[in-house]
Chains A and B, each alone.
Chain A
Amino acid sequence: EPEVTQTPSHQVTQMGQEVILRCVPISNHLYFYWYRQILGQKVEFLVSFYNNEISEKSEIFDDQFSVERPDGSNFTLKIRSTKLEDSAMYFCASSVDSGYTFGSGTRLTVV
């Protein structure tokens, strides 16, 4: 069964540093997403990406965040100047329409 692959599985970074979370969506999917889940809280939508541009973003997705599809396979989330409160699980997902596949997530710990 096709998978969404995320790397790394765990990233520890110092406050103020920049991190790039990587995702390889399913090849024939058209929509790509990033979600975030702070420990003990609900899964929150960050951004959706379609046709090489952001189609929707949440209030969380401010200037600190950016997404990119640098080639035909990778989909990245960059977080600049990380803060302690950015510590969370970050899930990438892809879909054809509403049929989603989630990656296994990257646990980001900001120290």
Chain B
Amino acid sequence: RKEVEQDPGPFNVPEGATVAFNCTYSNSASQSFFWYRQDCRKEPKLLMSVYSSGNEDGRFTAQLNRASQYISLLIRDSKLSDSATYLCVVLGDSSYKLIFGSGTRLLVRP
């Protein structure tokens, strides 16, 4: 089983749509979780951390279900500028290494 698994997409949605991405992780001992955004041929950039209670940052909402080892990201009112690859990331159990999923590609069309 992959350490972090995501649907690769692409998700092709119109502007203004709501879109949700899911991710599962294999290590039940994992403690910290993140969503990163990566534009084509650029470095990953932190979008938001994911907390057990769920957290929201503007149009973005992240949820964590530890029992199911499942993480989600909801984007409301999609903008053209949201087009990117969204990476589900889990903190490894030593030395702060990050374990990346393969990413879910989002295309927002006018």
Contacts and interface: CB of A to CB of B under 8 A. Distances in A.
Interface of A: 31, 33, 35, 41-45, 48, 50, 55-56, 89, 91, 95, 97-98, 100, 102-105, 107
A31 B43 contact: no
Nearest to A89: B41
B48 interface: no
The SS class assigned to the B binding surface is: loop
A55 B95 contact: yes
B96 A31 contact: yes
Given A43-B87, A91-B43, A105-B43, A100 B97 contact: no
Interface of B: 32, 38, 41-46, 87, 91-92, 94-103
Contacts of A103: 43
A45 B48 CA distance: 20
Most chain B CB neighbours (cut-off 10 Å) among A33, A42, A89, A107: A42
Contacts of B44: 43, 91, 102
A44 B100 contact: yes
B46 A100 contact: yes
B95 A98 contact: no
B96 A97 contact: yes
A43 to B, nearest CB: 4
Nearest to A42: B102
A67 to B, nearest CB: 13
A95 B102 CA distance: 22
B94 A42 contact: no
A45 B101 CA distance: 12
A43 B94 CA distance: 18
B98 A45 contact: yes
A23 to B, nearest CB: 12
